[in-house]
Structure 1
Amino acid sequence: MLVVKIGGSIQKDERDFDLIAEKVSQYSASKKTVVVTSAIKGVTNSLIEATENRDRAVEIVSEMYDRHVKLLSKVAEGPEFESAFKSLSKLADELFRIAWSVKVLDEISMRVRDYILSFGERMASITLGAMLRSRNMDAQAYPEPVLITDDSFGEANVMEDLSMMEVKKLMDIKSRIVVIPGFIGKTPTDRYTTVGRGGSDYTATLVGKLLGFPEVRLITEVPGIMTADPRKFPGAKTISRLSLEEAMELAQMGAKRLHPRTFEPMFDRDLRVYIEGLYDEGYTLVQGTCDSSDKLKGIAVLDDLKLISVESTNIVGKIGSAARVMEKAREAGVNIVSLSQPASETTIHLVVDSKNASKLTSRLQELKDVETVNVQDANAVSVVGCGLRNKDLFKVVLREASSFEVASISRGLRNVSATFVVKKDEGFNLAKDLHEVVVKWIS
């Protein structure tokens, strides 16, 4: 038994669906298979646009519906097309009504936004299920969310005990293949929620955990997790294996846009997760913990950041200075990517997302002890690998970074990552040099 997640980026046209059918047929030949699907390529962005450009909301959702029907006509036929067409049309009627309301009222809540976004995955599950049945596969679409969540719309938290009861209903479906939507959930009062962008990966691993399945396969456009972004680093290689600690560090740093919680369900579970490509052979296996043979695995770069330096001689030796800075960040609702303070105590460095920099800066300028608040563009370059627990290998990484002006250095909680914050114009060169070290020491 296994879970197969189909990414949205590989659901563009009939060729993609032919390859998807081959994958699903291969994995479901002798096993009960739950297929988790994302919205088809570009649909979630279109729905987000409808929530933001409300004058065009009806037009946007109409275009999205037409796109699904056109795709359905190419991948399904006969009774399967007719049945799926009726289901899509019913959902579209529901979506048109809410889009019209949003246009007229010209306002939207997070609850309504999540409701609108839910249609992408729901429609995708119907389309994918019809495609599989048209190829004589024993498949059934289950287009409603199986995850029960709280009402933190936009980034809802899954309630595993309640979700367990819903997920187990999948095993009562007689079809060998059950297609369900990822990314979305429902509150106990039946309000649609979302669990964060990229949440279909998290849905897949969590369903695998709740069902007690031993294997989850995340199918995407690239053959596994690479040592770096291959579009920017031509020498990037597929990582054959990641420990759970390494995978979680890379997810937290935004590698492959994995949901940060993708691998949480693997704790205390004998669960294997394969990340594999649809178009090319190759995969990354995520399983187990660090072992003695692990060295370095990859790098991740966060590049839309600001380095905020809070400077004053008045904070030297004063207890609670950093705490007051963090309190201002809390008041502004800003997440701190990194915080450091040199031994001289004259400066506190904060790294934040660029879009949050101005509101945090204005708050920090309210502090009486602060003389200046400087802001500059920054990159955070992280090296990941269990080998960083080895002091000698960590020194190799530090030596490579020593030729750059590093604002701060931090270690991951599990000591399997090291992050260097540098000026933006130095970020790529540092990442390039560190990637060469990774490729040399990759295990």
Structure 2
Amino acid sequence: MLVVKIGGSIQKDERDFELIANRISQYSSRDRTIVVTSALKGVTNSLIEATENRDKAVEIVSEIYDRHVKLLSKIVDGPEFDNAFKSISKLADELFRIAWSIKVLDEISARVRDYILSFGERMASVTLGAMLRSRKMDAQSYPEPLLVTDDSFGEANVIEDLSAMEARKVLDIPSKIVVVPGFIGKTPTERYTTVGRGGSDYTATLLGKLLGFPEVRLVTEVPGIMTADPRKFPGAKTISRLSLEEAMELAQMGAKRLHPRTFEPMFDRDIRVYIEGLYDEGYTLVQGTCDSSDKLKGIAVLDDLKLISVESTNIVGKIGSAARVMEKAREAGVNIISLSQPASETTIHIVVDSKNAERLSSRLQELRDVDSINVQDASAVSVVGCGLRNKELFREVLREASSFEVASISRGLRNVSATFVVKKDEGFNLAKDLHEVVVKWIN
């Protein structure tokens, strides 16, 4: 039995759907298949725009509806088109009503926002299921979420025991292929929620765990996870295998825009996850833990960051100085990406997302005994690989970074990553040099 996730980036036109049908047919010929679908390419962004630009909400919803109907007319025919058209129209009517409401009220809550975003995946599951049936495949759509969550709208937490009971409902469906929505959930009181961008990957691996399926395939536009972004690093290669620790580090750093919790369900489970391309051959297998033969696997770069330096000779030797900085971050509602302090204790370096820097900086001004607070653009460059546990290999990485002005160095989960914070104008050059080390040692 198998879970296959179909990404939104590969659901653009009839050519994509022809390739998707072939891929699903290939897998379902040997296995019972649960297909987790994202919304069509760009639809989630359009729905977000409708929630933010409420004067145009109805117009945007109309465009989304027209796009689904136009696509249906190209990839589905006969009775399957009629049935899918009715289902899409029913969902669209529901969406039109809420769009009118937010336009008139000119306000929106987090709960209503999640409700609006849920329509992308629900419409996609109807569309994909109809396309498969029109090709005489034994498929059925199940457009309601299988995940039961709490009510933390926007970043809901999955309640696994209730989700397992809900997910098992699809096993009672006699069809060999069942198409379900990713990204969305429902509270026990039937309120729609979302689990965060990239949440369809997380949905797929979680369903693999909850249903006891041994294999999950995440199908996207690129053939696996690469050593670096190939648009910026021409020498980037597909990584053939990642340990669970390495995959989690890369997901946390935003590699391939994976949901940061994508690989959590694999802990204590014998699950194989393949990340594969629809257009090109190649894949990355995520399975098992670090192996003694593992070396380096890839780099990740976070660019849109700010380095805030809190400087004072008055904080030297004072217990709780860093704690007071973190308390100010908590009060400001700002997530700290990295925090470090040299042995001299005269400076505390904090790395945050650029959009949060001004808010945090203002809060830090309230601290006593601070001489100055400096803010500058920064990049965080991370090297990932179990081989970093090897002292010689780690020293080679450090030597490559030593020619740059590094503000802080940190180690990641189980010492399988090393992150260097530098000035933004040095970020790309550091990443390029470190990527050359990775490509040299990749296995």
Range of TM-score over shorter length: over 0.9
Residue 344 of structure 2 corresponds to residue 344 of structure 1 = yes
Counterpart amino acid of 1:65? Y
Equivalent-residue separation in structure 2 for 1:41 and 1:238 (angstroms):
24
Give the C-alpha shift of residue 371 in structure 1: 1.1
CA RMSD across the alignment: 0.4
Counterpart amino acid of 1:156? A
Q: Percent identity?
A: 88
Equivalent-residue separation in structure 2 for 1:72 and 1:242 (angstroms):
38
Which consecutive residues of structure 2, in runs of 5 or more, have no partner in the other structure? none
What residue number does 1:160 align with?
160
Give the C-alpha shift of residue 369 in structure 1: 1.4
Cα deviation code 1:249-278 (max 9, x no counterpart)? 000000000000000000000000000000
Deviant stretches of 4+, over 6 Å? none
What residue number does 2:237 align with?
237
Give the C-alpha shift of residue 413 in structure 1: 2.7
Counterpart amino acid of 1:299? I
What residue number does 1:104 align with?
104
Counterpart amino acid of 1:243? S
Equivalent-residue separation in structure 2 for 1:124 and 1:413 (angstroms):
36
Equivalent-residue separation in structure 2 for 1:215 and 1:164 (angstroms):
17
Q: How does 1:67-78 map to 2 (within 5 A)?
A: 67-78=67-78
Query: Secondary structure of the equivalent of 1:414?
Result: helix
What residue number does 2:436 align with?
436
Cα deviation code 1:293-318 (max 9, x no counterpart)? 00000000000000000000000110
Query: Secondary structure of the equivalent of 1:158?
Result: coil
Give the C-alpha shift of residue 323 in structure 1: 0.4
Q: How does 1:24-103 map to 2 (within 5 A)?
A: 24-103=24-103
Equivalent-residue separation in structure 1 for 2:201 and 2:370 (angstroms):
44
Query: Secondary structure of the equivalent of 1:315?
Result: coil
Q: How does 1:405-420 map to 2 (within 5 A)?
A: 405-420=405-420
What residue number does 1:117 align with?
117
Residue 300 of structure 2 corresponds to residue 287 of structure 1 = no
Equivalent-residue separation in structure 2 for 1:274 and 1:147 (angstroms):
22
Residue 309 of structure 2 corresponds to residue 309 of structure 1 = yes
Equivalent-residue separation in structure 2 for 1:114 and 1:167 (angstroms):
21
Give the C-alpha shift of residue 30 in structure 1: 2.3
Counterpart amino acid of 2:161? D
Query: Secondary structure of the equivalent of 2:394?
Result: helix
What residue number does 1:326 align with?
326
Equivalent-residue separation in structure 2 for 1:413 and 1:360 (angstroms):
26
What residue number does 2:388 align with?
388
Counterpart amino acid of 1:164? A
Residue 164 of structure 2 corresponds to residue 136 of structure 1 = no
Cα deviation code 1:146-184 (max 9, x no counterpart)? 000000000000000000111000100000000000000
Equivalent-residue separation in structure 1 for 2:28 and 2:369 (angstroms):
64
Cα deviation code 1:96-135 (max 9, x no counterpart)? 0000000000000000000000000000000000000010
Equivalent-residue separation in structure 2 for 1:210 and 1:75 (angstroms):
32
Residue 215 of structure 2 corresponds to residue 186 of structure 1 = no
Structure 2 contact 249–413 (Cα < 8 Å) conserved: no
Cα deviation code 1:233-263 (max 9, x no counterpart)? 0000000000000000000000000000000
Query: Secondary structure of the equivalent of 2:414?
Result: coil
Residue 248 of structure 2 corresponds to residue 248 of structure 1 = yes
Equivalent-residue separation in structure 2 for 1:369 and 1:213 (angstroms):
57
